[in-house]
Structure 1
Amino acid sequence: MPASSRTLRVVNDAWLIIPLYNEAPVVRRVIEEARHVFPHIVVVDDGSTDASAAEAATTGVVVVRHPVNLGQGAALQTGFTYVLERTRARWAVTFDADGQHSVADAAAMVERSRAEDLGFVLGSRFLDGSTRVGRAKRLVLRTAAAVSSHSSGMRLTDAHNGLRVIRRDALERLQLRQNRMAHASEIVRQLGATGLAWAEHPVRIAYTDYSRAKGQSLWNSVNILVDLVFS
């Protein structure tokens, strides 16, 4: 376990929601690290064709399975419904399965929501400059943030960051209908419509050898462009 996780306080009143699709090589490690801080986790396996669901199940967390791949938006909505209907969590935290998000950042965002009475806290990789992003991807993400800022009425620097902390009263007002990349803009719009106090929080995204080998950065940029056109 990384030193940063060893020194963090356990967060018992939040549930981590991890959408999962074909991340068998890394998902067990991601969950095991997160559980030291977030003991309550629901993983939504979105029709993986590899051993992802089995790997997640070995950690003892809740695993909910979609029989076919529906998209990340659908996986998140399944997680939202589980947390609202099956737990008393005060917060839900959306957290990626591929190891790019920081458990320390997630914990800090929950504590910020608690301390400042915020309905939701959105992660941003651009607030402190700690994440190095390629020029093309940065341009796409900046454009997406500008479009989402206009549609939601919120001034955002990073609208497509999967690390989010959502308080229960805000979570109750979310109903995602966009299953694929357009869900990111939909979440922002629906959260903005709540009128609740909110903040962006600086986070670090770890672009790993694993994610680069999957071609994830380029593929996500293409998906975000599609999202901007059709959302």
Structure 2
Amino acid sequence: MKFLVIPAFEPDEKLIKLLEEVSALNLFQIIVVDDGSGDKFNNIFVEAEKYAIVLVHGVNKGKGAALKTAFTYIKGLNEDGIIVTADSDGQHTVSDIIKVSNSLRIDEAAITTGARYFTGKVPLKSKVGNTITKYIYFLVSGLFLNDTQCGLRAFSVSSIPFLLSINGDRYEYEMNMLLLAKKNGLSIKEVPIETVYIDDNSGSHFSPVKDAVKIYGEIFRFTLSSIAAFATDYAAYGLLSLLFAALPTSLMLVFSNVGARLISSTLNFNINKKFVFKHSEKGKGSLIRYFSLAAGILGLNTIILLGLNTLSGGNIYLLKLIAELACFAISFTAQKLFVFKMKNEKEKKSIARLPILKKEEEPCVIRNF
């Protein structure tokens, strides 16, 4: 069985055109999620019911929440198969939907994502946004993807527990999916697709500021935390270098660097645990992992510092700055994937069993079977 999931918020006739074309192929069970579009758009969804199962959110919850609602519905069907997600605004062609769905096996632990290469007439905000995001993603994950924002993706039904465990209800959900895939044993592969923008992407509900903050929020918080820790580390390094000034240069660098890192890492651990990764694990597990990582980063940092001093000599404060910048990406990736793991396996299984909607929220309505 192949499922095509289309989250839709205030769609227009482009959604109906897509549904007509896909339905004519008789390849997919189509599921559309009306994400709180309101009465004004009832005629669109009544028409959509001719081709698809329509699930309805009483209020707008966001693209991530709409996808989770569809995944929960599919999970309840107890059918093996492949899930393809596509946008409702006409940016994904039927041929590309088929191409992405055919790129994945039912038993494959992977995410296939469409990859646009942004040739031709592309809105500037889309081109700039994708460029920034893909390099940030590379910095964080070590994996280079040409297109991290494409909503055309495919995964097996067996991946649903993972998909439901991912944080985020809006556009950040799709980025979190890519960030956590490797950690959960899912490979990521790209399939080239057409770059289609209609009316300069005027139908998009993506907010460049509000949604960007959600997508990049964790990275921003980590950067600010790192700046605070670096300022503390750098100040302590300067004071300790004066204290150990009588020692040979190599010893002075080692003692100053180690002492400064002990001070700054204590501050950094507490900020990252409480405010950056919002990690709730009790006990000393994350503390032990953090200082094990800190020891490794410190060793690497010190080797870089000594190496730069040996090769070039020069200002020891400038060398310290270069060494810190070199270790930044490694530190973020390791802390996210190793130190402050989102959930342990027991917690993941528990989350996968929870319903998507809270008791006080209006339940999802199935308009068509």
Task: Determine what percentage of the aligned residue pairs are the same residue.
Answer: 27
- 1:125 maps to a residue whose letter is R
Among candidates 47, 54, 66, match of residue 36 of structure 2: 47
Query: Of 135, 142, 148, which aligns to 1:146?
Result: 135
User: Quick check: 1:83 aligned with 2:74?
Assistant: yes
For 2:131 and 2:202, locate their aligned partners in 1 and report how far apart those are by CA, in whole Å.
24
More helix by share: 2
For 1:206, the equivalent position in structure 2 comes to: 196
Kindly state the Cα deviation for residue 206 of structure 1 after the two structures are TM-superposed.
Answer: 1.8
Whole-angstrom CA distance in 1 between matches of 2:22 and 2:79: 20
Query: Which of structures 1 and 2 has the larger relative contact order (alpha carbons within 8 angstroms, sep 6+)?
Result: 1
Structure 1 CA distance for aligned equivalents of residues 175 and 35 of structure 2: 20
Q: What does residue 225 of structure 1 align with?
A: 212
Is the 2:35–2:57 contact (alpha carbons within 8 Å) kept by the matching residues of 1?
A: yes
Query: Which residue is 1:22 aligned to?
Result: 10
Determine the structure 1 residue equivalent to 2:186. Answer: 196
Deviation of the 1:107 alpha carbon: 1.2
Give the Cα–Cα distance (whole angstroms) in 1 for the partners of residues 214 and 4 of structure 2.
25
- In structure 2, the residue corresponding to 1:172 is in which secondary structure? helix
Matched, 1:32 2:24: no
Question: Structure 1: any 5+ residue segments left out of the alignment?
Answer: 1-12
Q: Return 5+ residue gaps in structure 2 as ranges.
A: 219-369
Distance 1:111 1:161 in 2: 17
Equivalent-residue separation in structure 2 for 1:186 and 1:35 (angstroms)? 31
**Is structure 2 residue 165 aligned with structure 1 residue 178?**
no
RMSD of aligned residue pairs (Cα, Å):
2.5
TM-score by length of 1: 0.81
SS in 2 for 1:36: helix
Deviations 1:159-218 (A, max 9, x none): 110000112233331123311121121111232222233311111132123x6444x38x
Shift >6 Å, 4+ stretches: none
Does structure 2 retain, via aligned residues, the 8 Å contact 1:154–1:192? no
How far did residue 134 of structure 1 move? 3.3
Q: List per-residue Cα deviations over 1:66-115 (Å, max 9, x = no partner).
A: 11110111000111111122251411100111111012112112222239
Return the letter of the residue paired with 2:76.
E
Rounded Cα–Cα distance in structure 1 between residues aligned with 2:53 and 2:90? 19
Structure number, greater radius of gyration: 2
1:137 Cα deviation after fit? 2.5
Answer yes or no: is the 8 Å Cα contact 1:18–1:43 preserved in 2.
yes
Shift of 1:151: 3.3
Higher mean C-alpha displacement, 90-99 vs 28-37: 28-37
Please identify which structure carries the higher strand content.
1
